[in-house]
Amino acid sequence: GVPGPELRGFAAINSIAVVPQTPTVLAVSSLGSVAVIDLNKPDDFGVVQAHQQGSLTKVVAHAAPSSMFLTCSSHTVMLFDQRSPAQAVLQCPSRGGHKLHSLALHPFQTTSFVTGDAAGSVSFWDLRLLDNGQYDSCETRSAALGAQQPGNIIWDVVYMPESADALFTASNAGALDLWLKSRNPAVPPFELALRLEEGHLPLMALDVHPKTKALCAASEMSTLQLYARVPLVSEAMVA
């Protein structure tokens, strides 16, 4: 590969994101900094202190509008405009109060996303439901049975490609879970449908192939777990 810019004074890079259909890369650090890098001019980049209270753990970029991106830190999700990232456009504290470690955008709705926290819970957010600044109105929390406990970090969460009805989580407890959209309006929007893996090593990251739907998860000890075929949604439907 071609070496990129050296982000001096940036501390550890916790997460990066490529802005879709642009030459822009976003990076967030353990000191709460955000770097906006244009790959056409990699040595001409800007770094701002976007979060004063500590580490930014994850960044994801919107496809439209492409200037917007989300980050999470401590127990708050923040929406930024990369044209002026020093100040968040919106800050949404999670009602759980636990540190947020993972974040994924809804594949079709720019106002919706899911987060995973340090206590084994996932939260489903829809900013269209924001009621006069009351953030509780736009967040619904769920947890797998027995998973909701301090230290069981949800390290990664991803939606099934081209689907808003299924997502996967990887946790500190070594669990790889498939969640499906619930058909029962009286329960949270997603429920645990299938535990694909329950090991002893923390699972730190996962991803799904956009075409084959093959799943890959990475453990703390540099081990990759490959699933050539993810179970069909119809095989694990939530009652």
pLDDT along the chain (239 residues), means of 10: 62 88 89 86 78 84 81 86 83 86 91 90 85 71 66 90 90 90 80 85 92 89 79 48
Per-residue confidence (pLDDT) for residue 130, from 0 to 100 = 75
Per-residue confidence (pLDDT) for residue 167, from 0 to 100 = 92
Give me 31's structure tokens.
Answer: 């000191």
Per-residue confidence (pLDDT) for residue 49, from 0 to 100 = 77
Give me 128's structure tokens.
Answer: 């269209």
- Topology at the third CATH level for domain 13-236: Methylamine Dehydrogenase; Chain H (2.130.10)
Collect all residues with Cβ–Cβ distance below 8 Å to 234 and sequence separation of at least 6.
Answer: none
Q: pTM for this structure?
A: 0.84
User: Residue 232: how many CB atoms within 10 A of its CB?
Assistant: 10
CA angle 119, 52, 153 (to 5 degrees): 15
